[in-house]
Amino acid sequence: MTDPADDPAISAHSTTSGMVGGGFYNANSATQWKAIEAVLPFVDEAANTLPTTSFTNGNGTVCLADFGCSEGLNSIAVMQRALAGLLPRTDRPVQTIHSDLPTNDFSRLFVNLRPGGRPVFDGARVYSAAVAGSMYDQLLPDRSLHLATTFNAIGFLSRRPVEVLPGYICLNGPSAARANGFVSSEDRHIFAEQAKRDVADFLKMRARELVPGGKLLVQVFGANEVARTCDGIYDLLNDAVLAFVATGEISRETYDRYYQPVYMRALEELTAPVSQEAYGAAGLFRIDGTRSYEIPVPFNTRFDADGDLERYATDYVNFFRAFTQSILETALPEGPGRSSLVDRIYNCAKDLIRATPELYPFRYIAIAMLLTRTG
């Protein structure tokens, strides 16, 4: 087993090597797009109000960057939307930047930026680029950025907050309905604090990069009073992994050390670091707007309409496989059987869904805040 902290595939200030590449994330990210679509009014507001005359980068370029872009399908679509608002407001050249971890499938991103060999954005004035690194680090020069965005990404923590999580595989614990595991209240407190420190670090880095008056849109999966975006999917993955603990193919020690370092925040947990002194980012930004919302999940809608359980099981499992697989794989002992074990775990998850879909209801709660750099 590789200790995730020592794994060369995992960069500093990150806990995953990224999504499943080769087009798999793009093919299974319609749900994440729905969550982005719901906050496009924030994108419009940012594009219509970001400063277009404030340049410290020497060449008068307006710069837009999206952090946690993955293979780019959703990231490029949201960038198109921002450009639609911005381009009529300025005659300056525009630099678009898509950023993700060094181990992200950037080849797929580049192909998506040049479909058929042509630039996906307005070729006369928009210049696209990619930057690899953790979003919890500074990645762009001081005061060079006018709009920063991140979607469905900041829930991936910058570090593993504990060594072992013996009772469950996700930081927020099992759904109340399933209760198929436990996470102690001490651990829950540690995770909530880590999640706030991560937001603060992200704010501090973007505060350096943004020009005064620059805009920052932070959107991510989360939780509200009635549901959490971890419910269902992680109950299912937990059950599937435990099936292999029961057969002895996964040791209890491996299970105890394995968890997905993602945290579902409530809206107040996202906004707290913007104003609370304790996290070191207070005063860097002003809050223009916030949202906590739920989106219809495309694979649920389809299943409600056609009742096709086979299709539902595939879509449901592929959806969460795209963002859990690399972390699960790293947690399992290295060796020739590892990737087939991973396949069998996700196949087991499909079997569980086919057998009792009612045990794993999934809802997508999201939270967002639109900020302006002060100063």
Binding footprint of ligand SAM on the chain (CB under 6 A)? 13-14, 16, 18-19, 29, 32, 36, 67-70, 74-75, 100-101, 104, 134-136, 151-153, 156, 158, 323
Burial of 2 (0-12, 13-18, 19+ CB in 10 A): middle
| Encoded tokens for 55 | 């340049």
What is the nearest approach in angstroms of ligand SAM to the Cβ of residue 38?
12
Q: Given the complex with ligand SAM, which of 244 and 362 has the nearer CB atom?
A: 362
Q: Given the complex with ligand SAM, which of 250 and 370 has the nearer CB atom?
A: 370
What is the nearest approach in angstroms of ligand SAM to the Cβ of residue 157?
8
Q: Given the complex with ligand SAM, which of 126 and 220 has the nearer CB atom?
A: 220
What is the nearest approach in angstroms of ligand SAM to the Cβ of residue 204?
14
What is the nearest approach in angstroms of ligand SAM to the Cβ of residue 297?
14
**Quick one: three-class SS letters along the chain?**
CCCCCCCCCCCCCCCCCCCCCCCHHHHCCHHHHHHHHCCHHHHHHHHHHCCCCCCCCCCCCEEEEEECCCCCHHHHHHHHHHHHHHHHHCCCCEEEEEEECCCCCHHHHHHHHCHHHCCCCCCCCEEEEEEECCCCCCCCCCCCEEEEEEECCCCECCCCCCCCCCCCCECCCCCCCCCCCCCCHHHHHHHHHHHHHHHHHHHHHHHHHEEEEEEEEEEEEEECCCCECCCCHHHHHHHHHHHHHHCCCCCHHHHHHCCECECCECHHHHHHHHHCHHHCCCCCEEEEEEEEEEECCHHHHHHHHHCCHHHHHHHHHHHHHHHHHHHHHHHCCCCCCHHHHHHHHHHHHHHHHHHCHHHCCCCEEEEEEEEEECC
Q: Given the complex with ligand SAM, which of 151 and 279 has the nearer CB atom?
A: 151
Q: Given the complex with ligand SAM, which of 152 and 175 has the nearer CB atom?
A: 152
Q: Given the complex with ligand SAM, which of 51 and 326 has the nearer CB atom?
A: 326
135, 369, 147: which is closest to 272 by C-alpha?
A: 369
What is the nearest approach in angstroms of ligand SAM to the Cβ of residue 268?
22
Q: Given the complex with ligand SAM, which of 67 and 258 has the nearer CB atom?
A: 67
What is the nearest approach in angstroms of ligand SAM to the Cβ of residue 55?
26
- Residue type, position 212, single letter: P
Q: Given the complex with ligand SAM, which of 95 and 158 has the nearer CB atom?
A: 158
What is the nearest approach in angstroms of ligand SAM to the Cβ of residue 87?
22
337, 350, 333, 344: which is closest to 255 by C-alpha?
A: 333
Q: Given the complex with ligand SAM, which of 145 and 153 has the nearer CB atom?
A: 153
Alpha-carbon gap, residue 17 to 368, rounded angstroms: 24
What is the nearest approach in angstroms of ligand SAM to the Cβ of residue 239?
22
What is the nearest approach in angstroms of ligand SAM to the Cβ of residue 273?
16
Q: Given the complex with ligand SAM, which of 205 and 250 has the nearer CB atom?
A: 205
Alpha-carbon gap, residue 223 to 363, rounded angstroms: 10
What is the nearest approach in angstroms of ligand SAM to the Cβ of residue 90?
25
